[in-house]
Amino acid sequence: MSLLVVDGDSPVPPFEQLRAQVVAAVEAGELAPGERLPPVRRLAGDLGIAPGTVARAYKELEQDGVVETRGRGGTVIAAGTSAEAEAVAAASAYADRVRRLGLDGERALALVRAALAGG
């Protein structure tokens, strides 16, 4: 899968780079529901990173409802709603920005709660 890359010079951890790229590709329609992602070991080899890094990205994507793991069927893009995919992408972008700003996670969540409450 040539669409995924890891920037070794980035302050963003490699697993997070992969996770954010898959979310962005789903949102952009570059990855469609049911489309299979490369196996963990193959993608890790292609990118020159540890298999555990890819596995962590896939696990977090599954927890976010972006992908589904189907045993021998591999990891595929989930058939979630576009609103969910957009919310996941927005949350990912916000989390990336908060990290770059050096804000504490609790403060970041408080800001989201205030924004959702209209304040």
CA–CA distance, 119 with 114 (Å, rounded to integer): 5
Which pLDDT does position 65 carry in this prediction?
87
Domains of the chain, first to last: 14-116 (1.10.10.10)
The 10s digit of each residue's pLDDT in 1-22 is 558 999 999 999 999 999 999 9
What is the pTM for the complete model shown?
Answer: 0.68
The 10s digit of each residue's pLDDT in 47-90 is 999 999 999 999 999 988 899 998 888 999 998 656 666 777 78
The 10s digit of each residue's pLDDT in 96-114 is 889 889 999 999 999 999 9
- DSSP H helices, the chain, are 14-27, 40-47, 51-63, 82-101, 105-116
